[in-house]
């Protein structure tokens, strides 16, 4: 049956229902076509928007670089200066340990390191007996199901218990 059939073509209730169903299907097809067109437009807009956002991002990046060009040059010069820290091997010399800690503190300040990176870096600088000691500390913490040490001051306190005798600490307080 043709959805454009006139009322004179309808001979039974079934024909009427069929005609209504066909009209509804035609409306659905028209709506689907409209939705498909909208989706195509949105896809094009999204693609253009992404390209535009990337363009805007690049422009902002270029603006930041241009605005901070002189400062960037100065920072670049300073960042190229190599600052290093010696390893700590665990020798039982309190002054050597304190000097090592002070050099780490200066290093952290220079590179503006976060607490977690400070701990990571200090662990790398522990060698020999000090490295073995710290591995034992980490294993013990894990066995006790405690949180690992992620703050430099906590690590420094733990190392000071081992490498900075109380008698030496008392001498420092007296000075």
Helices and strands: H and E segment counts in the chain: 7, 0
Which tens digit of pLDDT belongs to each residue from 93-142?
999 999 999 999 999 998 889 999 999 999 999 999 999 999 999 999 99
Backbone angles phi, psi at 126, to 5 degrees: -90, 120
Collapsing DSSP to helix, strand or coil, 168 comes out as helix
**Ramachandran angles phi, psi of 125, nearest 5°:** -85, -5
Higher pLDDT, 138 or 66: 138
Nearest 5°: CA angle at 154, between 148 and 156?
120
pLDDT band per the 50, 70, 90 thresholds, residue 173: low
Identify the pLDDT of residue 154: 97
Strand partners, 126: 88
Q: Residue 145 — left, alpha, or beta (φ > 0 → left; ψ -120 to 50 → alpha)?
A: left
Domain boundaries, the chain: 7-67, 94-174
Q: How deeply is 141 buried, as exposed, middle or buried, from its count of CB atoms within 10 A (0-12, 13-18, 19+)?
A: middle
What is the reported pTM? 0.54
- The residue whose two tokens read 């870096």 is 121
Tell me if residue 148 falls in helix, strand or coil. Answer: coil
Check pLDDT > 70 for residue 159: yes
């Amino acid at each position: 049956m043709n959805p454009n059939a006139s009322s004179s073509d309808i001979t039974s209730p079934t024909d009427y229902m069929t005609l209504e169903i066909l009209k509804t299907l035609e409306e659905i097809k028209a709506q689907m076509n409209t939705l498909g067109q909208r989706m195509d437009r949105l896809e094009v807009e999204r693609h253009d928007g992404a390209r535009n956002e990337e363009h805007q991002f690049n422009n902002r990046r270029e603006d930041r670089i241009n605005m901070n060009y002189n400062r960037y040059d100065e920072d670049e010069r300073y960042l190229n200066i190599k600052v290093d820290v010696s390893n700590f091997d665990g020798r039982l010399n309190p002054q050597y340990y304190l000097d090592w800690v002070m050099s780490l503190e200066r290093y952290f300040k220079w590179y503006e390191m976060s607490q977690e990176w400070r701990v990571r870096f200090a662990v790398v600088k522990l060698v020999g007996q000090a490295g073995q000691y710290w591995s034992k500390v980490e294993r013990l913490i894990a066995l006790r199901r405690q949180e690992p040490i992620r703050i430099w001051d906590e690590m420094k306190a733990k190392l000071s218990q081992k490498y900075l005798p109380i008698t030496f600490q008392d001498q420092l307080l007296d000075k």
